[in-house]
Structure 1
Amino acid sequence: MSKSASFARLFMGFILTATGVHASCPIELSPSSVVVKYGDPVSINCSTTVDLVELMGWETTDNPKTLNHSGHLTWTVESTTNWNIHLSCFLTPLPDATFEQCTVTPKFVLYTFPEKISISSSSGSDGVMNVKEEHNFTCHINHVAPVQNLTVRWYKGDKLMHTDAFSSPNKKPENQTSVYSFTPTRQDNGITFRCEAHMDLGPEGPQLNVSSEEKRVTVHFGPDIKCLYSINILEGETLESHCPVEGNPRPSVRWMKDGHGIDPGSPLYRGDAGMYTVKAGGVSVVKKVLIFYGPNLKCPNSYTAVEYVPHNLTCTVEGYPQPNITWYKDREEVSPPENLTRSDAGQYVITASNSLSSDNCTVEITVLYPPSPIVELEDSEVDVGSDVWLKCSSKGNPQPKYSWNYYQTTNVLEESEDGVSRLYIHNATAYNMGSYTCHALNERGNVSKTVRVTVKGAKQECPIKITPDRMVISFNGTGPTATCKQTSTTTTNVKEIYWDVDGSRRTNNESWNADTHEDWNADPVCIATFEGLGTCRKPLNFTLYKTPDSVLLHPCLQLDLSERGRSVPAAV
């Protein structure tokens, strides 16, 4: 605040020509305009430069007339205290003068300004306000004059918010107040208010101002729970970072889940999603907490499926938001079929992704299917003594295993390589003639194919041997046992071997014993069925005979020995 000095401050002005005064009034006032502080001395000189002056004087409310016959006259007051002072200088000319009697009035301002002002609030001395409620600040300016020169400025912090002006015509000191209405928000908590009184006394006077003390306000609000009903939280973040509770005074906040207290400053994880209750002050609300986290995908490293059978390949995926699952094969997106076929076998990359991240697994899918029809195996013809290859090929998963059915001899070799089986017949003989069957087998099924090998220049033989090769037995005698065996040492070559005695009787083994009482008409044949050769037979040369019990010589008796093996009397 600018303080006026204790001595009189006189400000030089211009020569005043009063309104309504004769334009030729030859009076000069120095100064013509005076601003003086209450109680200070003041003096104004009234002079003229013209002659023929009869009388010059001051007329004031304090001293009606002060006269002087000279060309100048000074009005002086040691202490200015009259708020309603009226002052004018007059000039009376002599009769021969060319001007008339006239007066000049100086501009005179008497002021007082307080050294301090005060501020009060409708919220009380503690400055506590409730948010959104209107409050009034009052600035008290006591004993100030002239009021019409007074303005009051209101500041919020350092920002000018409002200016009040006054229009009272009273020249005497008054007590003035200025009221500023204010509705606080929570952002206004802790802000300061002040008022400043300014006195504008024009260019002749000082610019006076004084400021009140600062009034700090405390804004009470809340508690306010600053989040929506549904709270989305990244895994590892906290409740208090996503749902702060604001209030002044600071509210006591309690979070609960399933009836148990929860620390809102602790990180939350995927298992913490659910319904929470937050209590703050007298407020209790329920919030739905969703925990966002990236996908976690788990799949088997490999999977085996049966062709054309619905698969149950199962991957587990966790994540929120719900991840999208995408399949890739050979870097191209594919849609996995419900039923897998052999063409679907291979390596797949399965990706689970959501808005946060992605995860993937690599799965090797194997499709099981039965052997395909056998290819590359055809009938063959070979010269006796030459070589020939038989090739058997089939596709399947697992890779088929091969087996052959044929009449096995030492000059036939089997080999399998790269999913193909081969038979090598070296130096072909008659025993290599016949059918050859290739079987392809895996756990899903089997196929077979039969071809025939013909050996040119060779005659088909039945590979069995009868021991003895001829049998002659006497009636009621004891004869040897006839046996029929295969000539090969490979036991798997023969499927069946038996004796057919007379077309209606058979044995189920390799041996046959003749009935020396009954087998007069026996025609024993050994029959054998061989792998690859089929069925063949060999007869046994068999004779059952009987010698006569006695011989009688009689002239009329003639023996007829035409029927082999028995003796029959013949009539003459």
Structure 2
Amino acid sequence: MFCCCIFLAVSLLHSLCHFHVSGYDPSCTEYPVFTPSALVVKYGDPANVTCVVCQKDCSGDVSGLEHTVGKVSQNGTTMFWTVDRLTEWGISLQCYYTNDAGNQCTSILNPTLYQPPESVSISFVNHTEMMFENQQYTLQCSVQNVAPVQSLTVTFYRGNTALGHLQSNSEQKKPVNETFTLNITPRREDDGAQYWCESKLELRPAGPQRPPVVTSEKLPAIVHYGPELNEPPNPDVITITEGDTLHLNCSSVGNPSPSYTWTLPLNSSPSYSGSVLTIKSVGFEHEGQHICTVSNTVGTVTKEFNIDVQISSIPYIIRGTLLGVLVLVGLSLGCYCKRKQRGNYKLSKIIVIDRSTPTAYKGAWTSMLLSVLLSVHYRHHLANKLWARRFFLLTNVFSFSFSQRNYLDTMLSCYLFLVISLMISFRDVRVSASGSSCTENPVFTPSALVVKYGDPANVTCVACQKDCSGDVPGLEHAVGKISRNGTTMFWTVDRLTEWGISLQCYYTIDAGVQCTTVLNPTLYQLPESVSISFVNHTEMMFENQQYTLQCSVQNVAPVEKLNVTFYRGNTALGHLQSNSEQKKPVNKTFTLNITPRREDDGAQYWCEAKLELGPAGPQRPPVVTSETFSAPPVYYGPELNEPRNPDVITVKEGDTVHLNCSSVGNPSPSYTWTRPKNSSSSYTGSVLTISSVGFEHEGQYICTVSNTVGNVTKEFNVDVQASIPNSAAFPWIWIIVGVSVAVLSVLICVLCCLFYKQNRKGSYNLKDVLRFPMRTALPLQNCENI
């Protein structure tokens, strides 16, 4: 019997070696784990998720996964939820198990179901006509049927410049219509700008790698502003020399284009309506104030020019010099004749004036010097007055008529009188050189002309800057009409529709040479349409293979000014230009080779056609964009998420082990596991979970991941070791086990001894057996009565 007790105690001790002691706690020490931990699904797409209920051995507990749609399969403590087409909004998945204390440990997964906007549009709030500079307007971006709206970010753009980012404060899960507004204050530089908005669903990190983006159409804006002068105000007085050319520049900018009105001095030329008033040869009648009034429908500005005309000294110096030469020639001739009569005709004494010189010649010489000095020094006050010229004539007549003694003196006086009178009377003589080459060329304003097909156009040509009124200026043109004001010509056309026209402005100089300037207006036409597609490809794409994008631009001119940019999302992929010199509208196709990566799966491609027309063209180059083209799926082979495992995975008996073979690939890869012979049946998930490892699980596990592109394998070598209690809990476990075994052994021995002793005496009352003797032994008769 005693041996039986010892055997029982040893067996109990051996069984308790595998007993794990844990303190009682009403809260959960672990919770179910979802994989993935966050789920984002597009409306109508399939979905699946895995839940590992618990990591420890809880196979005997009550576990489950609550769901309203889809179906659930289970493999041990791992559950798999799948749905073929998710269309329910606001669903929730609850994965749970019940622990030993009866508490339910639950994890909740709320899948995010999203739907990109059906449409995005942009407009102005309560405004359909023109805009004015420095006034406030409101843009609104309307997004239709989008979910979830709290993940939506709307960005407003002017051209390629972001104006602001807005988000909704709604928490609605189902699709809704949402409107976002932004206040803007346009400037004149924004005239012709294109406004648009972009809606983006920010669903990261569990959402698509490329957030779903939908853009609105482009909304052009027309900004009106009052005239503003191009050049600063003039000085108080503009001083100019008589006979020079004067340009009074009143050019300005404004929208709509401003008109010009000039107020001129009373005795000046008739009215003028251009931006630059040109006076070819300034006279004293042009002296005074010129006022330019610039106006359009928005406002008016004025500019004043105060002109002071001064006499040029150069014509009078030339006149005086010629007068002096002629007088000296006459005097020399007279002196020569006089001295020849006297027999003294040495050439060295011809022009010498001495005592023998007649008084008439001395008076003529004095009158000539006085005339020249007065005409030069007092030219502004005397030389331009009629009485001043008469004074000079009378002075000469008096001088030459004084003391006339003979016929020769009289003839010489008449000669000098004629020369002086002729020089003073021709006060307006101009000295100019003529040659066979052009010293200047006609000038067009503007110097370069860029016109949209069908729009009106005008240009001004100043044939020559100098006094060329006697020449023959002209302007050759194929369309439009010409008006003339002196040597300034104005070309206008109400609707320019002729391609490749040329304007030739010219004048003919004295030598018969024609001086010409040619202006070739640039007529442009925006593309009728812009489209993007792949060349000879409509199905899926494979990573690291080359494909060709093509951007087709229809009916655009001039094509040599066209710049095409390819985009993937908001990233520019390349800029291309045409080498054609065709002026008329043509269809042009541009191609670009791309090599997609896995990150480009689902990317949106588009292209932009921009006419770069230079400084003479619109301040905002005309732009037309294609629709957004969603690329086919980018397929790539499986790639493991985690690195290779160590050669051997050591795990203790009874523990839980996770063999992670998860990978990425497109299409989604499938998993095949090769397990040890003694192990369970086959498994097809990405993570193989063994809740309680036993020695039968020891061996090699091979995971094969494959899709239509390729396959990879991953090996797991599992080594199972006997479980050893935790080092921290080891003394307490053995103390408890030892005390329990000792108490149990003593109790069994005492019972056995007492039972055996009483039985041998013939008394085996159980009450007496279990009752410990105090001071006296039990009576023997009690044993006999049993």
TM-score (norm 1): 0.44
- Which protein is bigger by CA-based radius of gyration? 1
Considering fraction of residues, name the structure with more strand. 1
More helix by share: 2
TM-score after normalising by structure 2: 0.33
